[in-house]
Structure 1
Amino acid sequence: MTSIFEVSPRCRELQKKLIDFVENDCLPAEEIYESQVGTGANRWTSVPPIMEDLKAKAKSLGLWNLFLPKSYPEGPGLTNLEYATLCEITGRCPRVAPEALNCSAPDTGNMEVFAKYGTPEQKQKYLVPLMNGEIRSAFAMTEIAVSSSDATNIETRIERVGDNYIINGHKWWISGAGDPRCKVYLVMGKSDPGNKSKYRQQSIVIVPADTPGIEVVRPMMVFGYDDAPEGHCEVKFTNVKVPVSNIVLGEGRGFEVIQGRLGPGRIHHCMRAIGMAERALDTMIARVTDPSRRTFGKVLASHGTVAADVGKMRIEINAGRLMVLAAADKIDKLDAKGALRDIAMAKVMVPQMLQRVIDLAIQAHGAAGLSQDFPLARFAAGARVLRIADGPDEVHVQQLAKFELLRGDEIRAKDKAIKDRRTQIRDNGSKL
């Protein structure tokens, strides 16, 4: 894998190991994993045994917890840019490879919250087992009754009563809540709804998954997929009580926490999306160059429209990769807040690119592209989700427009300076 961005020799070595692991272990395990998920209620009570085998091998190869940036002592010492090149490789096998490396959402984001904001006690109780791959977690923000793309709408209440918080709320699309290994929730709600600042009303609290009052109502379906055993669940919190020591960072600082969490998380999704797009293109190329598959007397690739699609896909994938790497590099240099524009651009462009690439690959496969015989249908569902998850396209575009329009005064001032200078040159007999 080549890039205009420099990575360390150690990262290049990890790339080689990871490519081998994904190609020779994860991809062959996909079908086995799905068969082991089971049927009916069993899909939510057990974990495919092959995943534990893969996790053990990934640990032995040093391919473990690669996501946590080098600024964290708990991490492997990689930059966000370096991780981007590795995350893309796992995106070729999104159902299996990220979890095998302990680099899958929502755990990566939650681990970063604990690493960045957690107290020593919180880290010991939750971060350590999460990083060991012993437990899983969920992040409970999105709600069923309000438009959660504007997180200030969140209605879940977090009320302090003595030395405890009492939580009441109705969430949904809570990824990871269906997993039998899920042992902890990070729950966002309003602790100070009367605060004059709408960004200081929210807090995030740690809620053990076995706390009384938590009801996992149902897994939500994504174009017919339930993503068991992880799931994206509807969850009710009714008079859920946790000690005040379970607050993350402090009361009223929920937005600060989610901004620190979502920036890296958004770019991780984009990194994997590049890998998914590459695999979709590979799948299409294998199909259209197969000499046994012909239409109107010609191999599919001999048709001009098919060949043109392949060329367009390559252009879009490469452009998306450069945007993702640029955003990761900016995070390394300026942190996630300083890279907001680059993250937003990648978050809008890359999932849309992925959708187009997958759609063209499906079209080239005909009816087979819609079936379980190829990964394209599941990829299509996942790609569509990315245009809504972690903020819909419209929110990011609006944010980008806001940044750009702030440059209006500066641009007009430059234009005026150019015009004034032009007049000065003319008045001087066209001499500089």
Structure 2
Amino acid sequence: MNGMTGAVAASTAAGGHDGRARMMVFRAFLAQNVAVGSAFGGFGISVLPLQELHGASRGATTLALALAVLMMGLVSPLVATLIGRIGLRWTMTIGTLMSGIGYALLAIAPSMPVVLLLYALPIGVGLAMFGPFPSSVLASNWFRHNPGPALGVANMPLFVALLPMVGIFILRDHGLSAFYLILAALHVLLLPVMLGVADGPQDGGEQPGHPHAGEASAMLPNRTVLRSPAFWVMCLGAGYLNAVGITGVSHLVAFVAERGVAADEAAGLLSIMGGAAVIGSLAIGFLCGRLGAPLALALIAGGLAISWASLLSTISFPIMALASLMLGAGGAGVFPAINMLSGRLFGQQSLPRVVGLFGLVTLPLTFFLPPLAGVLRDAVGGYTPVALIIIGGCALVVIIFVAMARATASRSANGVAE
């Protein structure tokens, strides 16, 4: 009788634990969406009104988002330390508050230099503290036995699709200041959700479906990771893909508008891109499991190249919509694929350190490519050279990750033979 009671209690506890784990993934999903949706989806439709309001060049205007990405990468190692000291709950709560204050101040920013400062400091630092990196850590902590599906859900950028659809009407009817205040309000609404965050199960052995979760290898030191050629290959290829994704969000509306596409249709393409990102995050996780992360990243690079070639060669809305679909799905899949590849190469225990170093090392690509695209466009008077450079770089990345996949398969085969 007591044994049966104990079994029922254990089953109930496991079910409750699973429910709490899913709730933490949902909190990670909301945090990532408010952070990325506001910064990327919101910026994509506000770049032209922002440029017009302050009389700035395209290059200077797109520098705002690049500065946010720069600060996010620079402070990520410090955020990892902060998480260790005060935990995910307070780190993510403080980051949400900082970012929300930044958007509220953007509503009254008097000049472009102030706009750039706000994107760099409160918004950029806030992104690092409650955006994709800590959200992914939260999801992984609660599903250490198999983090792939949890990472896919946590990184689905639903708000990147929704914000352009809603924001285009807010900008048209109420102006840029009202739009920024609504973004600030989203952060305020997120604060109670962040206060419910828990870093992970109290007992590492409580991981659902993984009786040996507490038995983990030690985290690799920075020196070991940085000395690995595979790490630098991953940074070169995936860092470029990340930069291409940021460039697409920053310039897509302006790019298609330059080709004669109406403003509503241009915003619609950005919404399609964001909607596809919701699916892409999960789909790439599935492809990583079936094909391996290197081949999945090679497919992403090939899809991005084809998409930009299509956007450059036609103004047919159905074809441009399909290209935007591929851009969104591919761009959203890069970060989950990098998480899975990092875990495969260096071990799940070292995942936070590797991803943090990845963000820091790839800063030159993610920071310089989007504003340089705007500068090049201003210099030549069109986006054609920008698109050609993106296409050529993506083709090179395909070769890089196919070679990595073959090398990984060869090492695995040798290991089996031995």
Scaled by the length of structure 1, the TM-score of the pair is 0.32
- Whichever structure has more helix as a proportion of its residues is 2
The structure that has the greater radius of gyration is 1
Answer 1 or 2: higher relative contact order, Cα 8 Å, separation at least 6: 2
- Whichever structure has more strand as a proportion of its residues is 1
